[in-house]
Chain A
Amino acid sequence: MKRRPPRYSAVRLLSRGARKSVWPRVWREVPLRDSYDAVVIGGGVHGLATAYYLAANHGITNVAVLEKSYLGSGGSGRNTAILRSNYLTPEGVVFYDRSLELYRTMAVDLNMNVMFSRRGHITLAHSDASLRTMHWRAEVNKLQGVDSSVIGPAEIKQLAPALDTSSHPRYPILGALYHPPGGIIRHDAVVWGYARGADALGVEMHQKTEVVDIVVTGGDGPGGKGPGGRVTGVRTSRGDISAPVVVNCTAGWATLISDMAGVSLPISTRPLQAAVTEPVKVFLPVVVVSGTLHVYVSQTARGELVFGASVDPYNTYNIRGSLDFTEGTAGHLLELMPGISRMRLLRQWAGLCDMTPDYSPVMGFTPVEGFLCDVGWGTYGFKAGPVSGEQMAEAIATQRTPELIAPFSLSRFESDALVGEKGAAAVGH
């Protein structure tokens, strides 16, 4: 049941504008059925990308995406929209680089203006130790064919004149890891693009549909759940659904969903706060990150400065902001760019992050047959959305783990094969 939504183009925009015709809804709202080939829990970029690639690459279109709120209401609409692939481990670098490749052609692939601005990304080093890590990351990146290099203060000043590269600050800028392919994107458009693309291929999106239980039979745990069991469906706030495949793409709520299937995960939920200033003229042409000062900042197309910090230091499902964050992060930002001291803050918000011990995700099959996870995305999930969707779709369609995500399987915690990305993912976005 392939539909043809109107293609977005400048000609159509003009002609529809001239005729004052109303654009149709971007995706349909259809009644919830009681059976699907696959159910994806979570309507963010990961869930929608998984559903989209299931339909687009593998022809599996009898798929439902269940979202307890509205599409893109979680981390997908709360992140700071920074894309990069300058990670620390070879596994991480090739994985995130594939994501960047998909982002690069996304506007054409999805016929949606996602406003990807490949403006360059610099990660500042304020100590000899972090400069050493930057060199390490640059070499790992080069080996995987990713454009990264270490630059000095003079080049940093050229890229971002607003930065204080003098020796005055408490943490002087000694150098930086420069990653030209990095940049920012409009995160809502990515969500809408995947939703629209998936809808056109026959995938159903159900908003305001909360999963309350997952039906598992034959497992070792209580109620037939747990390892060795098999998924047969989900119970939702709007009725029961039977499905042989259930995918958990619920980020901060990941453990609550996997508990329903009897799968325990090495995940803690922590909030991550971000904030945005009033819009001003363009003065910051690159994305700037400082791990030492726990801050990353970029200027949007509208001229606002978007900045964020690392996760809050304690577990919580509460997304209230805190003065600690505003005070601390604004102070750090001023240390980097003293010239912005008169700028006013527009708003701040928080999103939930599903943190793993090694700062790498948990992807693929679990001990419960038919129950797959694409979680543990912590503070780096948005940039990995497309590749995760593509690889998860392949895993579901072929029933085997693709090579690209094999290092991120849940079983790595049983074999002590952790993928330590803390050095490149803890703050550096």
Chain B
Amino acid sequence: MLIVPCPNCGPRNSADLRYVGESRPRPDPNSTSTEEWRAYLYERANPAGMLRETWYCRSGCRRFFTLERDTVTNEFTNPPTPVAKLGKRP
């Protein structure tokens, strides 16, 4: 069981949230190349170590935020960062 520190609701069971996935900058679909767009869609870093990831607090504050977690020990290290535009995926 993973306890996720939500910036608004405090520590919550991961079942209360939705895991969005690795946080990556989204290229502008209007100007990006096909290769870059596909890399954004499919490729994953999938590190065994620190990973910046996006969560959505679906049964609490219903906000998106990013966190840093060690994927080997499952420990969160840095305080959560709310995603700048509320409701919009990074």
A-side interface residues toward B, CB under 8 Å? 253, 255-256, 264-269, 313-318, 320, 322-324, 357, 413-414, 416
**A191 and B42 alpha carbons, distance in the complex (Å):** 32
Shortest Cβ distance from residue B54 to the other chain A in the assembled complex, whole angstroms: 11
Q: Which residues of A contact B2 (CB under 8 A)?
A: 314, 322
Instruction: Report yes or no: B46 in contact with A318, Cβ–Cβ below 8 A.
Output: no
Instruction: Report yes or no: A314 in contact with B44, Cβ–Cβ below 8 A.
Output: no
The residue that A318 contacts in the complex, of B13, B45, B72, with Cβ under 8 A, is: B72
**A413 and B38 alpha carbons, distance in the complex (Å):** 7
Shortest Cβ distance from residue B90 to the other chain A in the assembled complex, whole angstroms: 16
Instruction: Report yes or no: B1 in contact with A264, Cβ–Cβ below 8 A.
Output: no
Instruction: Report yes or no: B48 in contact with A314, Cβ–Cβ below 8 A.
Output: no
Instruction: Report yes or no: B38 in contact with A315, Cβ–Cβ below 8 A.
Output: no
Instruction: Report yes or no: A313 in contact with B46, Cβ–Cβ below 8 A.
Output: no
Q: Which residues of B contact A318 (CB under 8 A)?
A: 71-74
- The tally of residues in B whose CB lies under 8 Å from a CB in A reads 26
Given contacts A268-B46, A269-B71, A314-B19, 11 further A-B contacts (CB under 8 A): A255-B46, A266-B42, A268-B22, A269-B48, A313-B14, A313-B19, A315-B22, A315-B71, A318-B74, A414-B35, A416-B38
Q: Which residues of A contact B28 (CB under 8 A)?
A: none
Instruction: Report yes or no: B15 in contact with A266, Cβ–Cβ below 8 A.
Output: no
The residue that A268 contacts in the complex, of B1, B14, B44, B48, with Cβ under 8 A, is: B44
Q: Which residues of A contact B87 (CB under 8 A)?
A: none
Instruction: Report yes or no: B46 in contact with A267, Cβ–Cβ below 8 A.
Output: yes
* Known pairs A324-B1, A413-B38; A317 contacts B72 (CB<8 A): yes
**A266 and B14 alpha carbons, distance in the complex (Å):** 24
Instruction: Report yes or no: B46 in contact with A269, Cβ–Cβ below 8 A.
Output: yes
**A323 and B1 alpha carbons, distance in the complex (Å):** 7
* Known pairs A313-B14, A317-B48, A322-B1; A268 contacts B21 (CB<8 A): yes
Closest A-B pairs by Cβ, 7 of them: A266-B42, A255-B46, A314-B19, A322-B1, A413-B42, A317-B48, A318-B74
**A256 and B48 alpha carbons, distance in the complex (Å):** 7
**A416 and B46 alpha carbons, distance in the complex (Å):** 21
Q: Which residues of A contact B46 (CB under 8 A)?
A: 255-256, 265, 267-269, 315
Candidate in A316, A320, A357 with the most chain B CB atoms within 10 angstroms: A316
* Known pairs A322-B1, A414-B38; A317 contacts B43 (CB<8 A): no
Shortest Cβ distance from residue B88 to the other chain A in the assembled complex, whole angstroms: 21
Shortest Cβ distance from residue B67 to the other chain A in the assembled complex, whole angstroms: 11
The residue that B44 contacts in the complex, of A266, A324, A416, with Cβ under 8 A, is: A266
Q: Which residues of A contact B35 (CB under 8 A)?
A: 414
Q: Which residues of A contact B53 (CB under 8 A)?
A: 314-315
Shortest Cβ distance from residue A190 to the other chain B in the assembled complex, whole angstroms: 27
Q: Which residues of A contact B43 (CB under 8 A)?
A: 264-266
Shortest Cβ distance from residue B61 to the other chain A in the assembled complex, whole angstroms: 19
Q: Which residues of B contact A267 (CB under 8 A)?
A: 44, 46
Q: Which residues of A contact B50 (CB under 8 A)?
A: none
Shortest Cβ distance from residue A425 to the other chain B in the assembled complex, whole angstroms: 17
21 residue pairs from A and B, CB less than 8 Å apart: A255-B45, A255-B47, A264-B39, A264-B45, A266-B43, A267-B44, A268-B44, A268-B46, A269-B46, A269-B48, A269-B71, A314-B14, A314-B19, A315-B21, A315-B53, A316-B72, A318-B73, A322-B2, A324-B13, A324-B14, A414-B35
